[in-house]
Structure 1
């Protein structure tokens, strides 16, 4: 038996509860991982809120898509995307179909990579979903060393990854965030700017923007992006889907080609983290039984990095 956090209904964090679940033995294509840390991501609460559908037959709905831990069982010749997997290996796993808030999880071996020794379990749990999303944004907008990229919502999990990856590409980064997060962004190599009235003018004072990444989906972020970036093909959003078509900008998801791009990014992100070139900022750590509190904090918008659960 393993403890697993599930949503018992559709709604707010109050619907989250711990249940005991019997896991089947792993198939030859799977590994059993003892969870050391599980990252909380916005997609987690979007799924149980009902915003993405509310099928009663899916309840109780397991929660969590991103973990780090130790391989407990590896039948057959399990091979992850960083090589063969053996019992005792420290690993990162994504694509676990929403059962990551648990003591143990079954994961397809193809979705498992070896944890960089440079990262703690808490840090490693927050590397791949945010990192792969940021990678996708930068690939789509073709950001390189000749660019000045404007990143809206740079203080969040995806934003902090996007800033670092853009700097590693040699780009100049202008990052919107509240003033409380400006020092953190400066340390990562960005030029921070406060969002709000007059944003476009403040950004112009810092440089000529050639690409923009929208991580917040506000009208301000979208309008300023299209005002400042000459080529709308170099603007991408992961949240502003309602206006993306109207504005002629890219709306990115993890489906189809997007998933292939994000999957291909995983070993590259691990290499960068292993080399100490990519950091994961962990803001708060909650015990598994306080998953609802973790989600209340995540939804408050005050997190300065990843929110993590530990069994």
Structure 2
């Protein structure tokens, strides 16, 4: 038996529970991973409430979670490249990673560099692939200026760093408590809230070329008001505005092969060229408390569960 997060109906945080489930058995092409750490994400909360049931239908009882890092416990037939005892980073497409043991398709795993912590490895997939996709979608070039909203959040904190690697000037919208962290990563911090358009304009003397919105709530309209072309705007949070104005919504699976991007990002972290801040770590049994913290939307980086 193994512990896993489950819920039986759509609803708030109170529907979540941790229960004992049967030990999974790997089938052909699958790897059984003993989870060391797993990230949590706003998209999981949206799925749990039923807000996106038309896009992500659920079958109950449902598991939860995509990110994971752990140790290979057992391999199924036809699996090459992995063996019991290997440390891996990966993702579950079955909403099942928030558990002690999880089955993962071998193609969704990549080796974990030894100098990356379990917490960082376990929280990397969703925010990493989303940030990678968003940055590439707006085609940032050296010498351009890009604005990132929610610049200290899970996706935003990686997006600003990846954008800086293109040679662009990066303006990060965030609360004052995160400004020093942004400066330390070569990002120009600007406070969000009333007057933000004027503050951006005063900072971007040659205008804004691209805009990545990780927060929603009017930032697509702000980007357009700043003169950014729709095809240089990407939002991962405001799909209604994207449909209305024809801006991009790249982030996640459509960004490209997840395991390849994950390996690239893990390599950058291992080389000290990228940082994923860890806001807080909770035991798996405190999954409700972890999502309560997440939904406050004021964390820097990722919240992680440890089974």
**TM-score under structure 1 length normalisation:** 0.93
Q: Which residue of 1 aligns with 2:65?
A: 64
Contact 1:144 1:166 in 2 (8 A): no
Distance 1:57 1:141, change over 3 A: closer
Q: Which residue of 2 aligns with 1:237?
A: 235
Equivalent residue runs for 1:60-209 within 5 Å: 60-79=61-80, 84-207=81-204, 208-209=207-208
User: What does the per-residue CA deviation read over 1:181-200, in whole Å, with 9 as the maximum and x for residues that have no partner?
Assistant: 11111112110101112111
Give the superposed CA RMSD.
1.8
Q: d(CA) in 1 for partners of 2:32 and 2:91?
A: 13
Q: Which residue of 2 aligns with 1:291?
A: 287
Q: d(CA) in 1 for partners of 2:128 and 2:163?
A: 12
Q: d(CA) in 1 for partners of 2:58 and 2:201?
A: 51
Name which of structure 1's ranges 136-145 and 224-233 shifts more when overlaid on structure 2. 224-233
Contact 1:124 1:280 in 2 (8 A): no
Look up the SS of the partner of 2:295 in the other structure: helix
Q: d(CA) in 1 for partners of 2:58 and 2:292?
A: 25
Q: Which residue of 2 aligns with 1:218?
A: 217
Look up the SS of the partner of 1:161 in the other structure: helix
Contact 2:30 2:104 in 1 (8 A): yes
Of residues 228, 250, 253, the one that matches 1:252 is 250
Name which of structure 1's ranges 244-253 and 200-209 shifts more when overlaid on structure 2. 244-253
Q: d(CA) in 1 for partners of 2:298 and 2:58?
A: 34
Look up the SS of the partner of 2:85 in the other structure: coil
Q: Which runs of 5 or more structure 2 residues have no equivalent in the other structure?
A: none
Contact 1:128 1:269 in 2 (8 A): no
Contact 1:36 1:69 in 2 (8 A): yes
Q: d(CA) in 1 for partners of 2:237 and 2:224?
A: 15
Contact 1:27 1:75 in 2 (8 A): yes
Q: d(CA) in 1 for partners of 2:217 and 2:57?
A: 31
Q: d(CA) in 1 for partners of 2:38 and 2:129?
A: 17
| Number of residue pairs the alignment of both structures matches | 304
User: What does the per-residue CA deviation read over 1:274-309, in whole Å, with 9 as the maximum and x for residues that have no partner?
Assistant: 212111111111111100000001001121111111
Q: d(CA) in 2 for partners of 1:222 and 1:263?
A: 30
1:23 aligns to 2:23 (yes or no): yes
- Which 4+ runs in 1 deviate beyond 3 A? 54-57, 261-264
Q: d(CA) in 1 for partners of 2:198 and 2:283?
A: 44
**TM-score under structure 2 length normalisation:** 0.94
Q: d(CA) in 2 for partners of 1:71 and 1:45?
A: 28
Distance 1:223 1:114, change over 3 A: same
User: What does the per-residue CA deviation read over 1:237-290, in whole Å, with 9 as the maximum and x for residues that have no partner?
Assistant: 1111111132221123545xx153555422221221221211111111111110
Contact 2:126 2:252 in 1 (8 A): no
Contact 1:167 1:189 in 2 (8 A): yes
Contact 1:6 1:61 in 2 (8 A): yes
